[in-house]
Chain A
């Protein structure tokens, strides 16, 4: 009994210590003395790896999810004779929820795990130590640009996801199910509010981008530098960031839309 309590306490402490280390890394790589001139080319390169290379999976997923939403929405709404409202339904569910959440989950799997593995491998092959011996802070050189890239890319990817999703919904509803085009778009325009829906959706995406990238770079930087340690860290990145995104989504939704 006492032993179990002690073990629980020990586990709690080590989690807390890890959280502290994660905070330190965040602070040292982002806040302390930024070097914009050195940073910029590195940032562009990372935006390419983290953002541009994630585009395909985002666009394809967005298209299919939009099409499914159109179909499902139509079959439900048609019973009430309000199938013109399908445009509104597709747009609201995408902009408020699905675009930020699904993009963040895909991003964690596609880019987050790659970030962790890359940084972990740099640690295992002593590239990080080597930088330090040359006199370059690996937090600023390696971690900071990757962090900013993820933070910048996720909201943009989420916006693209929403746009493509709406296009997919329109494709199914208008071209396939024969809903009148004018009412599809008009309904959507009337119901989607820029501040309540679009801005709130973007805020979610920004928050998710922050959390997912933070977890990914921290897991890489903090991993045990062996092949086993790297694979564990990669798994942790995907699991922790998925859970964090879903939990955070509930909190943000409650705050943003809770008073309705």
Chain B
């Protein structure tokens, strides 16, 4: 693994399991400050789980997750509250609060974490909505938004407190090509102008390759490869190649383990 000059999130020997299933097995991941880092891997490998571990919603079985100098799993309530103020997360489903307007959604984290006056909150919210191109939609309810718009509002909410770290869970999934292009540009521009660290979790290979500075590929509870997009395209490992090129068969099987198809089709009549 490469040594970065300035690491903002340092995950060491992280292990996590759900029931009997080992999701992470002593994984090390370093996230460089100010860059866009992508975590990629097939569905169900635990990418969302990783973001929840970083956010402190789940506790690892062992290992440490250092965000600057705070070890997330060991933080108490109020320290965790303070660390979360520095993180914004864009959930896969957008996760807008459906009972309040777009404006109130974006204002929500500001109200929770600061004592700003109503005027200042208004200014901040309008600036964030302007940044995602939806200032005009401030008084709509989430149910009145299209999928792409909802995700942009969620993005405005995620950056409303100017966090140091923004985490995106599958930002491109289920978006039409235009919305996708808008989002890709938005993430890149925001990362450059607000100077925060971005972590993108995704299985959309092309979009992610185009935007990420550094990539980790996760499979079988481990990091199987990491590097810049150019480095990864040269990796010789069959497993990595299969994933990068979206080939249906290879070390990562397309078929879920099953009995011989002939015996299944015969209905066990032999």
**A129 close to chain B: CB less than 8 A:** yes
A133 to B91, CA, bound (A): 10
Does B92 lie within 8 Å of A134, measured CB to CB? no
Does B108 lie within 8 Å of A129, measured CB to CB? no
CB < 8 Å: which of A122, A129, A135 contacts B91? A129
Does A127 lie within 8 Å of B98, measured CB to CB? yes
Chain B residues with CB under 8 Å of A124's CB are 93
Does B85 lie within 8 Å of A130, measured CB to CB? no
CB < 8 Å: which of B87, B92, B94, B96 contacts A133? B87
CB < 8 Å: which of A122, A125, A133, A136 contacts B89? A133
Does A135 lie within 8 Å of B89, measured CB to CB? no
**B1 close to chain A: CB less than 8 A:** no
- Write the nearest CB–CB distance from B169 to chain A, whole angstroms: 9
**A126 close to chain B: CB less than 8 A:** yes
- Write the nearest CB–CB distance from B145 to chain A, whole angstroms: 13
Does A129 lie within 8 Å of B52, measured CB to CB? yes
- In the complex, chain B residues 91-113 whose Cβ is within 8 Å of any chain A Cβ: 91-98, 108-109, 112-113
Complex interface bits, A124-159 against B, C-beta within 8 A gives 1, otherwise 0: 111101111111100000000000000000000000
Interface size class of A (residues with CB under 8 A): 10 to 19
**B173 close to chain A: CB less than 8 A:** no
Complex interface bits, B72-101 against A, C-beta within 8 A gives 1, otherwise 0: 000000001100110101011111111000
- In the complex, chain B residues 122-155 whose Cβ is within 8 Å of any chain A Cβ: none
Does A125 lie within 8 Å of B112, measured CB to CB? no
Does A125 lie within 8 Å of B84, measured CB to CB? no
CB-nearest residue of chain A to B99: A45
CB < 8 Å: which of A126, A131, A134, A136 contacts B93? A126
A233 to B84, CA, bound (A): 31
Chain A residues with CB under 8 Å of B96's CB are 127
A134 to B93, CA, bound (A): 16
**B237 close to chain A: CB less than 8 A:** no
Binding site for A on B (CB under 8 A): 52, 55, 57, 80-81, 84-85, 87, 89, 91-98, 108-109, 112-113
Binding site for B on A (CB under 8 A): 122, 124-127, 129-136
Apart from A125-B93, A133-B84, A136-B112, 9 more pairs, CB < 8 Å = A125-B98, A126-B92, A127-B96, A129-B91, A133-B55, A134-B84, A134-B108, A135-B84, A135-B109
